[in-house]
Structure 1
Amino acid sequence: MTRLYRTPLTAAAVALTLSFGAAPALAQEATPPQTTPPTTTAPAANFDEATLQSYVDASVKLQDIGQEWEGRMAEAGTPEEMTDLQAQAEAEMVSAVEAEGLSAEQYNEITRAAQEDPDLYQQLTQMITEADQQGG
């Protein structure tokens, strides 16, 4: 899995969000993940602290969901089973994001903004690292 961020928690959460190609709710307009931090000087994204915290909280939940479903998907016997499991995992991910007060589109918008804005990227990376150190 290509890593978008340097911290394992962030990489797992975002990569999971973007990796389910069969589930358009979270991956509708997702761009391919970058392998290095963004280097462009795009204008700073305009997300308030509460929205970013919701993103971080959702990312932590997505990592947990991804770990849970990874084992189930590894045991899928057929492509059809895999597709069914991916759809179930995707639905659970969308619910987790929405439980944090964000739509899947808002979550993806923040992810894309972080890919384009080094300052936002750094801020989210730091927030997720802190959340990881605090135990989620």
Structure 2
Amino acid sequence: MNYPKTLKIFFTLLLGLILAGAVSGGQAQEGYYEEEMMQQPDAGIEVSDAELDKVAQAYIDISEIRENFQESLVEVSDPEMAQQLQEQAGEAMVEAVQNNGLDVQTYNEVMEAAQVDEELRQQLLTRLEELQ
């Protein structure tokens, strides 16, 4: 098993969650995300094979958006433009999740559960490897 690749996947997820939080904006939303991050993920959620496939595809789409965002950010020196790019990337990430038939909350719940549930994590990693 390649643990550095696994860690990279989950660090990318965290970036996606942060960007999605930035897009949602608003003080109420920020409080929600802070509270969610402080809670222990629920490892006992039920995830169907179809839902796990959707999560895996959404993750791949989000990774591509993140890579494009990082490439674009290198060329930007204006903080306002950087913020605008970040918001656009966050919106695109939310759209990627929704285009895969999920809502952001479900996507986040599955990804958080995969961090603490070894079996779910392995199933997700297997699907990601099959899709790439």
Q: What TM-score comes out, normalization by structure 1 length?
A: 0.73
Residue 31 of structure 1: aligned partner: 37
The 10-residue stretch of structure 1 (100-109 or 62-71) with the greater mean CA deviation from structure 2: 62-71
- Contact 2:43/2:114, CA 8 A, preserved across alignment: no
User: Structure 2 counterpart of 1:31, which letter?
Assistant: M
Whole-angstrom CA distance in 2 between matches of 1:89 and 1:100: 17
- AA in 1 matched with 2:126: Q
SS in 1 for 2:16: helix
* Corresponding residue number in structure 1 for 2:89: 89
Query: Structure 2 regions of 5+ residues with no counterpart?
Result: none
How many residues align? The count is 120
Matched, 1:114 2:114: yes
Unaligned runs of 5+ in 1: 33-41
**Offset at residue 19 of structure 1 (A):** 3.8
Identity over aligned residues, as a percent? 28
Greater share of helix residues, 1 or 2?
2
Change (3 A) 1:12 1:61: farther
TM-score, length-scaled by structure 2: 0.75
User: Shift in Å at residue 76 of structure 1?
Assistant: 2.0
RMSD, aligned CA: 2.9
Post-superposition shift, 1:66?
1.2
Stretches of 4+ aligned residues off by more than 6 angstroms = none
Which stretch of the first structure deviates more once superposed, 43-52 or 58-67? 43-52
